[in-house]
């Protein structure tokens, strides 16, 4: 029986714990064990428990022992309802409520659910039923339960996801509270005491309100970008883009905002190939990297744009090659490096720098800028790294594929 598809990349199949385990146990040994290889339940990363039609445990692997704290020798041969006294969140006995051995004969599996052991340990449990078929060789008639396959998983991954959601709520609440408090305070003051302020005072207050409104809008835009990146729904509107012109526009905007002209240096090395990119997304990438260099670096911010070559993998059409076999293809690319002259990035921080909500300093934005930059670069088919700049400081270096995009 083929494994159940649960999404992912084309041609890649992932096993659903409950149904896949049941299918694995149901398959004949010669069908599931390749020559020279022996199936061992202890090799499975998840806990596996198999019981017979009477509820006696026949398989209790090492992962199940680790999750439950019970040695396999004390579990095999005993009734699973005694070994695993599973209860739901309301304290009810799951075995009595589900009645897997005497319940409906049409049931094939229970989806993943949170159940608890007697000591309060929470487990993610999936249950699959192996039932007799209509063949004559099976005893007990159609639908009779032959084996129960139980898959156990820990809750650490779910706890990490819940902490991530809590961080999101905390960060968003903190970032929104300050500008909204400012907007509310200045607006209420102007409405109540409009005639008492001079025109200059009113202008300062309104400029502050406008800046705080922009800050809220920017945060909401970043959160929407994060959502699109994580869900794979980032849309690109490709057009012919000159990266050096985009860099010059970003630098001109920073100078107009009050930065010194000599704070920036732009270098374009050699003729560049054509790049078909999303102009708005490129502005966002360059703007975030330049702002990051200004805020966290020091000295001159140098932006270097140069041609390069990348190795891509495509289906080979050469004679004698297998249809669809991959072949290495050299493709043109453009590399952009944004460097500063500050202290650089400590080696131990490099693996974390592109994560959500990671901030170099306690109060330095929402910690989403570099995560979004990485997502936008990868959406174009490029890569980004951070390393030490040749003259010291940090260097963010991203590579964009050049040439006509594959619209197929």
Domain count, the chain: 3
Q: What Rg do the C-alpha atoms of the chain give, in angstroms?
A: 30
| Overall average pLDDT of the 115-122 stretch | 89
Same domain, yes or no, for 148 and 168? Answer: no
User: Poorest-confidence range of 10-19, 244-253, 363-372?
Assistant: 10-19
Report the CATH number at residue 105: 3.30.450.20
- SS3 category, 97: helix
Final residue of a structural domain among 117, 135, 154: 154
- For residue 7, being part of any structural domain is answered with no
Instruction: Give residue-wise pLDDT tens across range 193-238.
Output: 999 999 999 999 999 999 888 888 888 888 888 888 888 888 889 9
Same domain, yes or no, for 206 and 272? Answer: no
Please tell me the predicted confidence (pLDDT) of residue 406: 62
Please tell me the predicted confidence (pLDDT) of residue 136: 54
- For residue 6, being part of any structural domain is answered with no
For residue 114, the enclosing domain spans 17-154
Q: Say how many C-beta atoms besides its own lie within 10 A of residue 12's C-beta.
A: 8
**pLDDT at 259 > cutoff 80:** yes
Final residue of a structural domain among 192, 215, 231: 231
Contacts of 348 (CB under 8 A, 6+ apart): none
Please tell me the predicted confidence (pLDDT) of residue 8: 40
Distance CA(385)–CA(353), nearest Å, equals: 10
Same domain, yes or no, for 292 and 382? Answer: yes
Same domain, yes or no, for 141 and 188? Answer: no
| Overall average pLDDT of the 381-394 stretch | 89
**pLDDT at 323 > cutoff 90:** no
Final residue of a structural domain among 154, 184, 218: 154
Please tell me the predicted confidence (pLDDT) of residue 318: 47
DSSP sequence for 181-230: HHHHHHHHHHHHSGGGS-HHHHHHHHHHHHHHHHHHHHHHHHHHHHHHHH
The rounded percent of the chain whose pLDDT value lies above 90 is: 40
Please tell me the predicted confidence (pLDDT) of residue 320: 45
Instruction: Give residue-wise pLDDT tens across range 125-166.
Output: 999 999 887 555 555 445 788 899 999 998 888 777 777 777
Report the CATH number at residue 188: 1.10.287.130
Same domain, yes or no, for 272 and 340? Answer: yes
What the block records as the tokens of 185 is 């305070």
């Amino acid at each position: 029986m083929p494994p159940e598809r649960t999404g992912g990349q084309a041609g890649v199949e992932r096993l659903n714990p409950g149904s896949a385990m049941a299918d694995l146990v149901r398959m004949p040994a010669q069908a599931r064990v390749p020559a020279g290889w022996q199936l061992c339940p202890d090799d499975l990363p998840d806990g596996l428990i198999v019981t017979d039609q009477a509820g006696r445990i026949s398989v209790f692997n090492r992962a199940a022992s680790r999750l439950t704290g019970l040695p396999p020798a004390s579990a095999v041969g005993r009734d699973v309802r005694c070994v695993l006294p599973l209860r739901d969140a309301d304290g009810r006995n799951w075995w009595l409520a589900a009645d897997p051995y005497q319940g409906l004969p049409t049931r094939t599996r229970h989806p993943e659910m949170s159940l608890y052991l007697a000591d309060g340990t929470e487990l993610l449990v999936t249950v699959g039923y192996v039932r007799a078929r209509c063949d004559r060789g099976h005893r007990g008639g159609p639908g009779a339960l032959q084996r129960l396959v139980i898959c156990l998983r820990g809750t650490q991954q779910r706890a990490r996801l819940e902490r991530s959601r809590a961080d999101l709520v905390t960060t968003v609440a903190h970032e929104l509270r300050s500008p909204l408090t400012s907007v509310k305070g200045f607006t209420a003051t102007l409405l109540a005491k409009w005639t008492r302020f001079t025109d200059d005072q009113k202008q300062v207050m309104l400029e502050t309100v406008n800046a705080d409104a922009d800050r809220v809008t920017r945060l909401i835009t970043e959160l929407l970008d994060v959502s699109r990146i994580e869900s794979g729904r980032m849309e690109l509107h490709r057009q012919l883009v000159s990266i050096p012109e985009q860099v010059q526009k970003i630098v001109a905007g920073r100078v107009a905002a009050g930065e010194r002209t000599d704070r920036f240096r732009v270098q374009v090395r050699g003729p560049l190939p054509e790049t078909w990119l999303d102009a708005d997304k490129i502005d966002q990438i360059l703007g975030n990297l330049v702002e990051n260099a200004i805020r966290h670096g020091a000295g001159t911010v140098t932006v270097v744009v140069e041609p390069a070559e990348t190795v891509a993998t495509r289906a080979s059409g050469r004679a004698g090659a297998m249809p669809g076999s991959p072949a290495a293809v050299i493709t043109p690319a453009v590399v952009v490096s944004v460097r500063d002259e500050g202290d650089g990035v400590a080696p131990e921080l490099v693996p974390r720098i592109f994560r959500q909500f990671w901030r170099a300093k306690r109060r330095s934005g929402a910690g989403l800028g570099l995560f979004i930059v990485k997502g936008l670069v990868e959406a174009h088919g490029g890569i980004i790294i951070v390393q030490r700049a040749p003259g010291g400081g940090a260097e963010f270096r991203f590579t964009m594929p050049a040439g006509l995009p594959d619209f197929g």
